[in-house]
Amino acid sequence: MAFIEGRNAVREALWAGMPLRRVLIAESTQPDRTIDDIVRLADKAGVTVARVSKREIDKLSERGAHQGVIAEAAPYPYALLDTVIAEARSKPHSLIIVLDHVTDPGNLGAVARSAEVVGADAVLVAKNRAAAVTPAAYKASAGALAHIALVQETNIARSLARCKDAGYWIAGASEHAEQTAWEAPLEGRIVLVMGSEGDGLARLTRESCDFLVRLPQAGKVGSLNVAQATTALAYEWLRRSAQER
């Protein structure tokens, strides 16, 4: 079970629409505006609110900083890659966005938002050493995490191989690529692979790509962050695909 601790964190999770099983409030907690917000938002979302002893909350707390409030998060319903591939099998235009060990939940949420807006079929993330679905991710996604298929895979390179077998071209985003987004074949059935915030694409991931692509630039800053770059490249895929329809 995963728990969210603290008044502001629990309120933020409810605001963002993160699925919760229940909210526990210590009986000794005095009412205030934040507590009132939590109760109101939980009622609106159909989440059970229970008054329990502080001792019970202490037992559930990992950090000991619960401020008398803790929420039990519902397990996130990850999609299966095989299901995503099967449902998109007949599509001439399909986009899967892969995050190669992106660690910031805010970036995960922002990418999910862009993916949902452009009509991508899924976002795929690494199971280990990667951002998890947190209140921050839900907030950044603006609700998109409730609508886009999010796949969690242990081995990115093997997942890319399965996508290749299903007729996808693998495009890796790299500032060192020779082709820009205007020149690269970003249309049709594409897996767009985005590297981590600090290290970019891992070696095995990069070697699994059919081609690398970068965004053109006119300014002096080296590159956009991963969420911004994903949005720009995903919209180029959408533009190309719309022209072919």
For residues 19 and 65, state if they share a domain. yes
Contact, 24 vs 70, CB < 8 A? yes
For residues 100 and 68, state if they share a domain. no
Task: Measure the CA–CA gap between 189 and 4, rounded to whole angstroms.
Answer: 38
Q: What is the pTM of this model?
A: 0.84
For residues 57 and 88, state if they share a domain. no
Output the pLDDT for position 241.
86
Query: Domain boundary at 73, 99, 119, which?
Result: 73
For residues 179 and 196, state if they share a domain. yes
Output the pLDDT for position 222.
66
Task: Measure the CA–CA gap between 181 and 202, rounded to whole angstroms.
Answer: 21
One-letter identity of residue 118: V
The residues near 71 (Cβ < 8 Å, ≥ 6 apart) are 3, 4, 10, 13, 14, 20, 22, 23, 24, 47
Task: Measure the CA–CA gap between 144 and 39, rounded to whole angstroms.
Answer: 24
Largest CA distance in the chain: 63
For residues 113 and 146, state if they share a domain. yes
Query: Domain boundary at 15, 44, 73, which?
Result: 73
For the chain, 245 residues long, the average pLDDT of each consecutive 10-residue run is 84 86 91 92 94 90 84 90 96 96 93 96 94 85 89 95 97 91 94 89 92 87 85 95 75
The residues near 109 (Cβ < 8 Å, ≥ 6 apart) are 136, 137, 138, 139, 140, 141, 142, 144, 145
For residues 105 and 52, state if they share a domain. no
How many distinct structural domains can be found in the chain?
A: 2
For residues 20 and 96, state if they share a domain. no
For residues 60 and 28, state if they share a domain. yes
For residues 106 and 225, state if they share a domain. yes
For residues 139 and 49, state if they share a domain. no
Output the pLDDT for position 211.
96
Output the pLDDT for position 133.
87
For residues 102 and 215, state if they share a domain. yes
For residues 123 and 187, state if they share a domain. yes
Q: How far is CA 235 from CA 34, 42, 126, 228, in A?
A: 39, 36, 23, 11
Query: Domain boundary at 23, 54, 73, which?
Result: 73
Contact, 125 vs 69, CB < 8 A? no
Output the pLDDT for position 1.
54
Domain hosting 32: range is 2-73
Task: Residue 207: give its domain's CATH number.
Answer: 3.40.1280.10
Task: Residue 60: give its domain's CATH number.
Answer: 3.30.1330.30
Which residues, in sequence order, are bridge partners of residue 189? Answer: 94
